[in-house]
Chain A
Amino acid sequence: MNLTTLIAKRLLIGLGILFVVSLLVFVGTEILPGDVANAILGQGATPELLANVRERLGLNDPAHIRYFRWLASMLTGDFGTSLVNGRPIAEQLGERVYNTALLAGTTAAIAVPLAVCLGLICALKPNGPVDRVISTVSLTLISVPDFLVGIVLVSIFAVTLGWLPAIANLRPGADFITIARVLVLPVTALVFTVLAHMVRMTRTSILGVLASPATEMAILKGIPRTRILLVHALPNAIAPIINVIALNMAYLISGIVVIETMFNFSGLGRLAVQAVATRDIPVVQLTAMIFCTVYVLLNLLADIVSIAANPRLRYPK
């Protein structure tokens, strides 16, 4: 099978997954008890009012028709109105998406290269003192709740030293210095939450490649270990490392939700949490779809890069 067909096939599978995801999001939020009409009217719901609202929103149509209408309107960029403030969701979405993308992007830009470097350093001398320290610290960081790192950072740098703001209030049109100051603490907290997994998994994949006969051959030829690591092992470990990075985006997503809430950061994650708390169903559906789509796309990208990097994956068993 050549590369293009294989990638096309993956893309189709990805589309299929997204379809299933949208179906599950819809079923999860609409079929379960307590429909949107109830949520809008709340305590003041009389049967007549309920019937009225249901008619207006088209809730009396069969579920599959509502699903396809919802899907079609989302695909055409019509995100509906928030139940809480009655305004179009699209209005506040742009800023939120931008803020979260900024937070996640900065985190990834710092965490990914750092994690690969630390993983390589560990693999250079497995079970040596440096590896032990990094491995122990990363195991500890994995086991610690996301908000603990945030609390420690806030109490040191915002409360005790007063260097940085404890609340990350990102106003539109803020200058670079302000944005940078606001982002330092949330980004640092997020880097800590995703870094540890990536370091450990990078170390494991590199050590896996180092155990191969090809590496043994290189050692026997007398090539220095650093060169083996960078020239022989790293290229072969790229596929698993990219997989690791994609997998860790899941941690990044849950981390983002927690850290945004902690720092009152006006992003997509906090929007999702607020929507769940106020039962703003259209906003929950939209934010869940955005997060899930990004997640599925990242995994798809990782799949495709792995296939491109490792010819053996082109011929599935």
Chain B
Amino acid sequence: MSNAEPAGLRRLASELTPTAIVCLTIIALAAFIAIFAPAIAPYDEGTILTNESFASPGNGMLLGSDYLGRDIASRLGFGIRTTLSVALAISVIAFLIGSAFGFFAAIMGGWTDTVVSRTVDALISFPAIMIALIVVSSLGSSFLVLIVTVAVIDSTRVYRVARALGMDIVVQDYIEAARVRGEGTGWIIWHELLPNALGPLAAEFGIRFTYAILFVSALSFLGLGVQPPHSDLGLMVKENMQGLLYGSFSPLYPALAIAMVTVSTNILVDWYLKSTDANLPEEL
């Protein structure tokens, strides 16, 4: 298995299309900004530089000022940092929970599968946004509440994909062979299920990452996600909405930043699925 991976990557690299390269560049740029925001942003995210709300660009402010007179460009950098790291944490946790339970249900079958699947069904019978509203209304919004809530919501979708992938693999002969050899459930999940499901799961990770970005941004936009004075892309849109009426484009920048990352990720996932001939189980 370990020998196959570099070759797989090399083959993938040979199939790079111009669109894929552009998307990769955008994501790399966003990651760079997210990591180095404190070093490259001209000002701190909370510094009020001018009395003027929605000042036009100039005076050392690349994109002008926001509703409080803070530098939009700097806040954008910190916003990308917050949004992307929160979304990444959510997707990683969702994956750990979702794929662990999904593979476990697939391999155990029987009543274990029934219990876990029905629990997931119960969670899915809620519109996701309502779960978030209920939790935030009783616990208030903090980074911890936000990350855990959205991760749990997201893990239900990962669970369904992982379980469906696992179901297809569990019936293979080599799983039978491993069982006859006397390997444990954990070993089989780690050494047989995971490597064989890795391709489609990687694609699913991209989709969940996009979803997490959009969901967190929507919550922040509603005032129920990341709280001020932190800078978050969705929150920036909410704060500067009124600027539109004064002819400022300030809410447009964070919204476009989100769109660039999410669109690039989705296009990459599409390209990845096509060039590896991998298929995601249908989500119907």
Q: Which residues of A contact B (CB under 8 A)?
A: 17, 20-21, 24-25, 28-30, 32-34, 139-140, 142-148, 151-152, 154-155, 158-159, 166, 201, 204, 240, 243-244, 247, 250, 253-254, 257-258, 261-262, 272-273, 275-277, 279, 281, 284, 288, 291-292, 295-296, 299
| B: number of interface residues (CB 8 Å) | 44
Q: Contacting A254 at CB < 8 Å: which of B127, B245, B266?
A: B127
Interface hit among B27-35, B102-110, B246-254: B246-254
- Return the chain B residue nearest A18 by Cβ: B125
- Whole-angstrom CA separation of A160 from B259 in the bound complex: 22
Would you give 6 A-B contacts (Cβ < 8 Å), ordered by A? A139-B263, A145-B221, A147-B237, A148-B258, A152-B252, A261-B222
A261 with B221, Cβ < 8 A, contacts A24-B122, A29-B134, A139-B270 known: yes
Q: Which of B122, B214, B265, B270 contacts A20 (CB 8 A)?
A: B122
Give B163-190 interface residues, CB cut-off 8 Å to A.
Answer: none
A139:B125 contact, CB within 8 angstroms: no
Given contacts A145-B262, A276-B136, contact A155 B224 (CB under 8 A): no
Which residues of B pack against A, CB within 8 Å? Answer: 122, 125-131, 133-139, 210, 214, 217-218, 221-224, 234, 237, 241, 244-245, 247, 249, 251-252, 255-256, 258-259, 262-263, 265-267, 270, 282, 284
A96: min CB distance to chain B, Å = 15
Shortest distance between the CB of A202 and any CB in chain B (Å) = 12
Report whether B126 and A292 are in contact in the complex, using a CB–CB cutoff of 8 Å: yes
Known A24-B122, A155-B252, A273-B222; judge A145-B127 contact (CB<8 A): no
**B245 lies within 8 A of A166 (CB):** yes
Question: Complex: how many Å from CA A225 to CA B134?
Answer: 49
- The distance from the CB of B111 to the nearest CB of chain A, in whole angstroms, is 19
Judging by beta carbons under 8 Å apart, are B122 and A145 in contact? no
B263 and A29: CB pair below 8 A?
no
Q: B244: which of A155, A204, A276, A281 is its contact (CB, 8 Å)?
A: A155
Known: A139-B267, A139-B270, A277-B224. A148 touches B134 (CB 8 A): no
Residues of chain A contacted by B252 (CB below 8 angstroms): 151-152, 155
The chain B residue with its CB closest to the CB of A296 is B125
**In whole Å, how far is A236's beta carbon from the nearest beta carbon of chain B?**
15
Are B255 and A151 in contact (CB-based, < 8 A)?
yes
B259 touches A143 (CB 8 A): yes
- B210 partner residues in chain A, CB cutoff 8 A: 143
Given contacts A20-B125, A29-B138, 18 further A-B contacts (CB under 8 A): A24-B122, A24-B134, A28-B131, A28-B135, A32-B139, A143-B214, A143-B263, A144-B263, A146-B214, A147-B237, A155-B252, A159-B245, A243-B284, A272-B133, A273-B223, A277-B224, A281-B137, A292-B125
